[in-house]
Amino acid sequence: MTVSVIQFGGSNCDRDAVRALDHLGVDAERVWHADGLPADTEGIVLPGGFSYGDYLRAGAMAARDPILNEVRAAADEGVPVIGVCNGAQIGSESGLTPGAFTTNASARFQCEPVRLRVERADTPWTAAYDAGDVIEVPIAHGEGRFEIDDDAHADLVADDRVLFRYCDADGNVTDAANPNGSTDNIAGVLGERETVAVLMPHPERATLPDLGRSTDGAGILEAFA
């Protein structure tokens, strides 16, 4: 599988994503947004960063970039797509996934390890885990508070499209474990297809064994393996 990691002006986690995928034995390459999606693309990463300086809203500009039309078309054909951090903001701004990511309740940029409860294990992104597993993956964002209106939230829950929730070490979903004020502690959601997902935490920063305190994120990227 060849994974295209799409680089926008201001992306800064694209290299990290390629390295993490390389480590997992996945063929991945960075793709400059203006060059369009390579024909052999079999997986897509929308990486983290600050595309277009977070102008207007985080992800708003990149979401209207022409390559997103290609990403949407590929997603509709079943190509796996994951948006991480700024990529999650781009995903929601572009309509790939529901809801919106906006200013943290703290009004601060937060860079810290968090724990996530795996809500479903029957998706490509979570096949390495069991439902209810608690994994540790870092966040690094100022605009990661998941917002969604009540009806859409009810639909999201009813359709079982919540992928990860912020939780404590024992897997309890509590206010104290919610780093940014996200609705229902939601950290990651699925699109209309299970092959499309976004999350604010950074799995590529918790994949390489010599990088930090956790390699729990590798299981998410193994979707591309």
Partner 1 sequence: MTAYTATVTVRLKRGVLDPEAETTQQALERLGFDLSDLRSADRFEVDLDAADADEAADRADEMAERLLANPTIHDYDVAVAER
Residue 208 CB, shortest distance to partner 1, in Å, is: 33
- Pick from 139, 157, 17: which is nearest to 98 by CA? 157
**Strand pairing report for 134-141 and 110-118:** antiparallel
Question: Applying CB under 8 A, which part among 17-25, 79-87, 146-154, 209-217 lies near partner 1?
Answer: 146-154
Q: Is 93 in the site for partner 1 (CB under 8 A)?
A: yes
Q: Is 106 in the site for partner 1 (CB under 8 A)?
A: yes
Residue 21 CB, shortest distance to partner 1, in Å, is: 30
Distances (CA, A) of 110 to 22, 113, 114: 28, 10, 11
Distance CA 150, CA 124 (A): 27
Residues 6+ apart with CB under 8 A from 107: none
Q: Which is nearer to partner 1, 80 or 191 (CB)?
A: 191
Among 60, 134, 140, 225, binds partner 1 (CB under 8 A): 60
**Strand pairing report for 2-7 and 43-46:** parallel
Q: Is 105 in the site for partner 1 (CB under 8 A)?
A: yes
Distance CA 186, CA 173 (A): 10
Q: Is 56 in the site for partner 1 (CB under 8 A)?
A: yes
- Write out the catalytic residue numbers: 85, 202, 204
Contact residues for partner 1, defined by CB under 8 A? 56-57, 60, 64, 92-93, 98-100, 102-107, 145, 147-149, 152, 181
